[in-house]
Every structure is written in structure tokens, then in C-alpha cells.
């Protein structure tokens, strides 16, 4: 009794040798591969990481195995370009913050400038007011300086005459 391989038609004497043939014979495996048959039990080992895979999965794994030198480089390249991207993002964030800070600073500076202008104007107005007030004060002082002598003389004259009249009248009334 013989067992015929359904992929490559090779005849084998036992079921177990047929299974082994289908799992290990490269020519037969190639045929299985070309037929897109996944032979779950056919396991091959990755030379770099020593993990075992089905033949189909190994070829996929080979592209990403990080222990494979070229893949390692590719992996590092990817990592570098990822970090570059991150750096660019951070640079953008920094320049955005710089812009925001500069804008804020410009805003505060212009507010301070406006305040300074207002204070200057207030000081100017105060000086004007002070000048006007002191001019008026000087004028008033001058006016007052002219007045008291006449006023005093009049008052004194008037007081004396009034008092003397009054005293005379009183004296008169008193003694009558
Ligand atoms: Zn075969
Ligand atoms: Zn591997």
C-alpha cells in the first residue's frame, strides 16, 4: 500500500512519511506555496530570532524580524524618521509658543505705551493746571497786597469815628 502526495504526486509508503514529506520537502512545499495552501503543521524556524512559523508566515515575518540585520537598520531608520517627525512637531510647538509669547509681549508693551502716554498727558495737564493755579494765586496775592492798606485805613478811620461818636453818645446818655 502506498500514499500519494496530492501536491507533487510522490508516492510514500506510510501516512507518517507522507506527512513528513509534505511538511519538509522543499520541492513539495514550493508547490504547496504556489497553490496558496497553508500547511499549518509545516513549521520553519527564523534564523535570526529562532521563532518558528509556517512557511508562509516566515516570509512575512522576515520582513519585520527585528533581529535580522537589515530589518534592524530599517527599524532604526523608521525610529529615526519617527523621532525626526516628533522633533519637527516640537519645533513647531516651540515656534508657536514663541509667537504667542511675542504677541502677548507686544500687546503688553503697547498697553504700557498707551498708559505712559496717558500719564504723560495727565502730568502735562497737571502742570498746566498748576501753572494756571499759581498764576491765579500770584494774581490774587497781588490783588490782596494792594487791598489791605486801603481797607485797613478805612476800617480804622471808620471805627475810630464810630467808636468816638458812640462813646460820646453813651457818655451823654449815661450822664443825663
Ligand atoms: Zn509532495
Ligand atoms: Zn525572526
Instruction: Give pLDDT tens digits for 71-85.
Output: 777 778 888 899 999
pLDDT for 175 equals 55
CA of 25 to the centre of ligand 2 (A): 22
Neighbours of ion ligand 1 (CB under 5 A): 5, 7-8, 10, 28
Rounded to an integer, the average pLDDT of 26-35 is: 84
Q: Which ligand is nearest to the CA of 9?
A: 1
Rounded to an integer, the average pLDDT of 121-148 is: 81
At 151-171, the pLDDT tens digits run 445 554 544 444 445 444 544
More confidently predicted of 98 and 124: 98
CA dihedral in degrees (153, 157, 163, 168; nearest 10)?
160
pLDDT for 4 equals 95
pLDDT for 38 equals 56
Q: Which ligand is nearest to the CA of 64?
A: 2
Amino acid at each position: 500500500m502506498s500514499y500519494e502526495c496530492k501536491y507533487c504526486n510522490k508516492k510514500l509508503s506510510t501516512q507518517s512519511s507522507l506527512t513528513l514529506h509534505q511538511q519538509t520537502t522543499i520541492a513539495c512545499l514550493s508547490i504547496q506555496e504556489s497553490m496558496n495552501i497553508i500547511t499549518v503543521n509545516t513549521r520553519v524556524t527564523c534564523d535570526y530570532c529562532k521563532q518558528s512559523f509556517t512557511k508562509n508566515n516566515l516570509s512575512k515575518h522576515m520582513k519585520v524580524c527585528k533581529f535580522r540585520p537589515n530589518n534592524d537598520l530599517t527599524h532604526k531608520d523608521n525610529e529615526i524618521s519617527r523621532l525626526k517627525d516628533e522633533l519637527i512637531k516640537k519645533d513647531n510647538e516651540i515656534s508657536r509658543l514663541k509667537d504667542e509669547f511675542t504677541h502677548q509681549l507686544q500687546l503688553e508693551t503697547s498697553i504700557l505705551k498707551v498708559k505712559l502716554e496717558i500719564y504723560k498727558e495727565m502730568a502735562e495737564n497737571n502742570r498746566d493746571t498748576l501753572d494756571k493755579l499759581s498764576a491765579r494765586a500770584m494774581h490774587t496775592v497781588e490783588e490782596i497786597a494792594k487791598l489791605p492798606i486801603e481797607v485797613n485805613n478805612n476800617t480804622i478811620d471808620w471805627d475810630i469815628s464810630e467808636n468816638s461818636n458812640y462813646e460820646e453818645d453813651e457818655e451823654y446818655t449815661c450822664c443825663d
